[in-house]
Structure 1
């Protein structure tokens, strides 16, 4: 870690173009440790493209991404995960035909004895760790062996969040985490997001629900047409002002 950097994530002049379409236009974005920032913007504003670059799913056309003050090249979501960035997407953070435990350990399964690239899964360890991680999130599901496709949308979000906790991510990107889930499950996600700083995490919370943003975030960044048009503490801006910028 660069001791001089106060930011866990920073972008400098970040750009992404698709042919003649300039989705992100030289964005300077900053996220401090133990801070939750709301990232806002209408469809096409550039926020999804920005997040895809920070999470390793897209390569920038130009500009830099820094983690803890160090320039990095994130070539894939796996690169980002290995550096402590977990992205919890609205729809595709879990695999429906796998169990809860399999989803939480997806791609990082603990193995017993090995023969080449093969080994025996330590399933008991996976079940116990999955139950513990879900408990920390406040989701108490009936069994870690339950198939994820049988869960509600909010329960699936809980599984994705539990996976991030299990592998000690320090930066969590929550992409529309309260869409299409029940009131109780929404409250669970909001409570968890509000607790991120005291748990030692930084977070980026993307949502069209400004009420949820104001409940969970200490700062909001508003994007429009590929640019950041506002970067303000939530205490210093109103929902009406934000709506005027979107």
Structure 2
């Protein structure tokens, strides 16, 4: 409410106890946030690793832009992500976050700008090209098959096979179960029945399966679109723990989230988009909840 007024007054028991401007109140709020930031960063209990010591740049986007007919969906998609780093893309609906990751993952082709991956400029013709070089994406709709079991979803598209007489090849379900069990255990995901269909799992378990499928041993860049949307605190904690574990294993991670608490808990760096352009790119340790909201709303300087 204060964002729409020049001045506001706070009353308690019919007595005026404060008269200030939104700017003064925001400054006081940010000071208080910074004071308590250290203790609140790890509210999900995931262990925040922000040493600032990351590896080489895995992905660099420079001036990406895309138009849908007469609508300019992205005007300046410029940012990078390094090995072992979690970069959170933040912005209001329509800011260009999902468009940006779809350009990176090969779903769309940019009208301009360039993508440099692993030191080379790339021009993916589709998602398969991106996956072939180690880019895995978990979309908001998860893209998992509800009528198939956990193990089948985990190996879908890369099913292990066994041969008979050196001629016929069939899917090796036992091997698929072994591979799935090993992957889930390595990520701390506890699902007892790996033949249970996805449709019978909880929302948190489905999300965990989708993320675990993306976190292959050879993944270099993991992109997660709203991985904690509609999840409770415990489920969110589990998902963020997996994300942090992936980063600590050396993967670069791009995560989209509308939940500011989630962003401040997991991000090493925050990139804010507004109206299709990047308006802020900086360390998560140097931004507060209030400042982030102001950037998203266009009420703060770059």
- TM-score band, normalised by shorter chain: over 0.9
Distance 2:217 2:203 in 1: 22
Provide the residue aligned with 1:55 in structure 2: 105
**How far does the alpha carbon of each residue in 1:85-104 deviate from its partner, in whole angstroms, 9 at most, with x for none?**
11112323311011111111
**Equivalent of residue 237 in structure 1, options 287, 291, 301:** 287
Distance 1:6 1:168, change over 3 A: closer
What corresponds to 2:172 in structure 1?
122
Gaps of 5+ in 1: none
1:47-82 deviation digits (Å, cap 9, x = unpaired) = 110000101111111121111110111111111111
Residue number in structure 1 paired with 2:28: none
Q: Is the 8 A contact 2:76 2:278 kept in 1?
A: no
Contact 1:137 1:161 (C-alpha < 8 Å) held by counterparts: no
Match of 1:146 among 189, 192, 196: 196
Q: Secondary structure at the match of 1:97?
A: coil
The structural deviation recorded for 1:83 is 1.1
- Structure 2 residue runs of 5 or longer lacking an equivalent are 1-54, 297-302
Count residues with an aligned counterpart: 241
Alignment of 1:210 with 2:279, yes or no, is: no
Query: In the alignment, what sits opposite 2:82?
Result: 32
Contact 1:84–1:168 under 8 Å retained in 2 = yes
Q: Which position in structure 2 is the counterpart of 1:81?
A: 131
How far apart are the structure 2 equivalents of 1:86 and 1:95? 17
Q: Which residue of 2 aligns with 1:193?
A: 243
Number of the residue aligned with 1:15: 65
Equivalent residue, structure 2, for 1:98: 148
User: Structure 1 CA distance, aligned partners of 2:249 and 2:143?
Assistant: 22
Q: TM-score, normalised by structure 1?
A: 0.93
Indicate the structure (1 or 2) with the bigger Cα radius of gyration.
Answer: 2
Offset, 1:185? 1.5
The CA distance in 2 between the partners of 1:166 and 1:222, in whole Å, is 28
Q: CA deviation at 1:167?
A: 5.2
RMSD of aligned residue pairs (Cα, Å): 1.8
